[in-house]
Structures are given as C-alpha cells and as structure tokens.
C-alpha cells in the first residue's frame, strides 16, 4: 500500500491516520505528511571543518532526502562567508549532496533585494572575485577600490571623458587586503558625496548609503588565535569617520548573521522551496542549526523575538508600519513578508562551541561582565545567547527536530 503513495482519500479515517503517519508526500493533499518546518544550516563548524566534511553531516543528509535525492523538508544553507559566489559554495558542499545554489545564502545574498542601487555606480570593497559577486547580485556598475585608485589621478578637470560616473553607494562585502588604501578611499568617497577627486565638502552628511555584509569581528582559521574579520574593518571605518567628522557613520543596511535581514531572506528562500514542491502546509517553525553562540544562536533568537513581537502587534502586517520607502524594512515588506511563527536555535558541538572548554557556554553574567563582540548597532541582550537546544552534532540536530515535529521520513 505504501508503495502506491498515500491513497488516503479512499480509506476510512483511522486507516488514513495510520497511512499518513508513514507516508510523507501524499498526492491527495494529506497535510499530515507535509513539512511545516524548515532548516537553516550554518556551514563551517556544522557540515565542514575547513575542507573536511564532518561525518555527522553525511548521516544527517541521508535522513533529509528521499530515494530520488530530493529534500523532504525545505533547507537553506546560511553562511557569513562572502568572498565567493554562492555557486562555488554549493559546489564545495557537493561531496555531501547535490545542493542547488538557490539553497545557499551568503552574507551578501540579501543585496539582491536592493534593486534601487542595481543600476547605479557603486563602490565595492572586499576581496575575492568582487566584480563577479556584485554582478551576480544584480549590480550593473560596480567599481572596485583598485579601479578607483587607478583612475584617481585622472579625476581632475583635464580628462572629463575618463572620469567615472559619480559613485552613489558604498557596498562593504568583506575585509579587503590593503586596509589603509580601502579606508582612505572609502572616506574620500563619503566626504565628497561620491566625487573623490573633489575637496571634502560640508554638505556631505548624511553621507552616501553604505551597505555592509558580515559583521563578524573575528574568525577562526588554522592559527591558534582568532583572525581579524570584516567587523574589525568596520570598527576602523566607523571610528575614522567619527574622528574626522564628529558624526556617526550610518548603515543603510547590515546583513549576514545575526542581522534580521538575513533571517528574513532565508525564510523567503525556505518558503520559495516549499512553494516549488507544492507543499501547501504553511512553514511554522524555522530551526537554525549553528556552532557559534554570538552569530547563530544570537541571530536565531533575535529573529524569534521579532516574529513573536510582530505577530502580537501586527497579526497581519508583521513589519513596522513606519518603514520609510526604499529602506530595508520597506523592501522586505514589499517582497519578503515573514510568515513563520517561531525560529528555534540549535547549537552543535562540532565547531566554535566546545562543551568541554573551561568557559563552555558563556553565561549571561560572564558575557555582560566581559566584552561584547557584536556590532555597534546591535544592543547586547544576554537572553539572546542561550540556545533552545544543545546537541552533539548536526545528525543529532536533525533527529531532535524530526522528533519535536513528529516527522518520520520514509
């Protein structure tokens, strides 16, 4: 019977109940067989360490797909990495499973929504194939710091033909290689309203819009001590700007975990997958599985708090009513209104978080007394660093979620 699929419409109520417990993909719309939840998997420290797959990831993935290799629930891979195209990240994971690039979310992925800047001339800062990344995201006229540096001697009154278009936006993708050059030229662009050949102007505040991806202060590589991340570069830029002008550098949008924008976009991708598979049951719960308390747990809990608050205050329209046109909240209101009821944080022990270390899980007090490594614009709340669940690895995370959701594949 099971091999015919769930032909539950032809059976009695009791038989349908029994069958729908076993059959996950009922062609007759038996809602009990459809997922009402989705996964947001972090990559580094959860699925791979460096280039090596974590063994539990293979076991977890076997449970997540049907014999045809299709996912049984919506899954998105959310990484704060940003120095490559998502296609490349999907290929890196292909030894685990055939993953489509539509399932991979990099820290810069939400920039796809900022269509109002796509036609404009934007200065891009970071490393890796920056122009390819920017163009893949939809930007038609990206200019790198290197290009600006090369063209700058021409930015005088002599050669107007070779003057680049006025820069209207700065996009910070990731930490660059020569910080002093990037810091200098970004400050030049901000203080001249996009005409870096001109003298600094008084009228340059509020400055050009700045969009920034990946706020991680530090990251862990092969070295014993953590390395400077893009968050450290941003600290430098913010402080130089403040020192010179006396004013705060303001961001049009911050993206990458733990920002809400990233989770909203991830939820949008989850819902798009469900729609594509004709899973009509609404996705109620998002499970965010990660290894970093300050990034994955904080971000998931922050988004959960947002979902709870917005469903209380705006049961239908979950976004702030006063979102100004063109701002990040308004863009999301337009295209990506959230619909999930909750976002649950699941911490694994295969990456940054080590349950055996002296300071296993930073307690509320210990973090409050120490220093907060989050971004300037994120207020610290100790309640946000406590995971809903701690499990040994991603395989245990999948088992736990299937159990919580009473979901029995195959």
Nearer to Mg ion, 42 or 395 (CB): 42
- Residue nearer to Mg ion on the CB measure, 42 or 393: 42
By C-beta, is 44 or 393 nearer to Mg ion?
Answer: 44
CB of 374 to Mg ion, least distance (A): 16
Q: How far is the CB of 54 from Mg ion (least distance, A)?
A: 11
Q: Least distance (Å) from Mg ion to the CB of residue 45? A: 4
> What sign has the CA pseudo-torsion 301, 303, 307, 309?
positive
Question: Residue 50 or residue 315: which is nearer to Mg ion going by CB?
Answer: 50
CA-based angle 87:232:145, to the nearest 5?
60
Least Å distance between CB 265 and Mg ion?
Answer: 18
CA dist list (Å): 404 to 259, 318, 346, 397 = 26, 26, 12, 10
Nearer to Mg ion, 61 or 117 (CB): 61
**Concatenated DSSP letters for 187-225?**
HHHHHTTT-TTSPP-TT--S-S-EEEE---SEE--SSSS
Residue 42 vs 188, nearer CB to Mg ion: 42
Q: Which residue is nearest to Mg ion (CB)?
A: 45
Residues that bind Mg ion (CB under 5 A): 42, 44-45, 291-292
Least separation in angstroms between residue 43's CB and Mg ion is 7
Task: Note whether 104 and 136 are within 8 A (CB).
Answer: no
Please report how close the Cβ of residue 392 comes to Mg ion at its closest, in angstroms: 16
Residue 395 CB, nearest approach to Mg ion (Å): 16
Q: Give phi and psi for 330, each to the nearest 5.
A: -70, -40
Place of tokens 């409050």: 368
Q: Which is nearer to Mg ion, 291 or 395 (CB)?
A: 291
Residue number with CB closer to Mg ion (45 or 194): 45
Supply the minimum distance, in Å, between the C-beta of residue 296 and Mg ion.
6
Minimum distance of Mg ion from residue 193's CB (angstroms): 38
Nearest of 73, 76, 71 to residue 37 by alpha carbon: 73
Return d(Cα 339, Cα 317) in angstroms, integer: 10
d(CA 284, CA 91): 30
Query: How far, CA to CA in Å, does 408 sit from each of 41, 46, 104, 130, 145?
Result: 20, 23, 25, 43, 52
Least separation, in Å, of the C-beta of 76 and Mg ion? Answer: 15
DSSP states of 263-304 as a string? HHHHHHHHHHHHHHTT--S---EEEEEES-IIIIIHHHHHHH
CB of 173 to Mg ion, least distance (A): 19
Rounded to an integer, what distance in angstroms lies between the CA atom of residue 104 and that of residue 123?
A: 25
β-bridge pairing 52-53 and 104-105: unpaired
- How far is the C-alpha of 96 from the C-alpha of 282, rounded, in Å? 28
Give the residue with the Cβ less far from Mg ion, 336 or 375.
375
Nearer to Mg ion, 81 or 210 (CB): 81
| Helix, strand, or coil (residue 142) | strand
Give the largest Cα separation in the chain, rounded.
86
Q: At 200, give phi and psi (nearest 5°).
A: -60, 140
**Contact between 76 and 41 (Cβ < 8 Å):** yes
C-beta of 295 vs 344, nearer to Mg ion? 295
């Amino acid at each position: 019977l099971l091999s015919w699929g769930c032909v539950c419409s032809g059976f009695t109520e009791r038989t349908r109940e029994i069958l729908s417990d076993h059959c996950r993909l009922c062609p007759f719309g038996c809602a009990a067989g459809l997922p009402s939840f989705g996964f947001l998997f972090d990559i580094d420290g959860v699925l791979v360490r460096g280039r090596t797959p974590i063994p539990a990831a293979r076991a977890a993935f076997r449970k997540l797909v049907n014999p045809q290799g299709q996912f049984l629930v919506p899954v998105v891979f959310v990484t704060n990495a940003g120095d490559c195209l998502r296609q490349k990240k999907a290929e890196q994971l292909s030894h685990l499973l055939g993953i489509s690039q539509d399932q991979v979310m990099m820290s810069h992925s939400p920039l796809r929504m900022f269509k109002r800047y796509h036609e404009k001339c934007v200065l891009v800062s970071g490393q890796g194939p920056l122009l390819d990344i920017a163009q893949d995201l939809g930007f038609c006229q990206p200019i790198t710091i290197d290009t600006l540096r090369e063209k700058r001697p021409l930015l005088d009154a002599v050669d107007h033909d070779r003057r680049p278009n006025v820069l209207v936006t700065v996009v910070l993708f990731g930490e660059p290689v020569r910080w002093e050059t990037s810091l200098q030229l970004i400050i030049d662009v901000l203080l001249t309203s996009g005409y870096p050949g001109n003298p600094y102007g008084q009228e340059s505040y509020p400055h050009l819009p700045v969009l920034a991806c990946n706020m991680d202060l530090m990251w862990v590589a092969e070295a014993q001590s953590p390395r400077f991340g893009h968050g450290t570069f941003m600290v430098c830029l913010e402080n130089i700007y403040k020192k010179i002008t006396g004013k705060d550098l303001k961001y049009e949008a911050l993206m990458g975990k733990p920002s809400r924008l990233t989770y909203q976009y991830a939820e949008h991708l989850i819902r798009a997958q469900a729609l594509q598979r004709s899973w009509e049951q609404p996705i109620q719960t998002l499970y965010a599985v990660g290894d970093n308390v300050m990034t994955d747990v904080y971000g998931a809990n922050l988004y959960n708090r947002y979902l709870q608050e917005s469903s209380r205050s705006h049961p239908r329209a979950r976004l702030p009513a006063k979102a100004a046109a063109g701002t990040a909240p308004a863009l999301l209101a337009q295209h990506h209104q959230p619909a999930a009821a909750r976002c649950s944080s699941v911490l694994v022990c295969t990456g940054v978080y080590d349950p055996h270390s002296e300071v296993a899980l930073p307690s509320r007090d210990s973090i409050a007394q120490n220093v907060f490594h989050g971004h300037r614009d994120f207020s610290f709340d100790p309640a946000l660093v406590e995971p809903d669940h701690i499990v040994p690895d991603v395989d245990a995370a999948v088992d736990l979620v299937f159990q919580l959701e009473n979901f029995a594949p195959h």
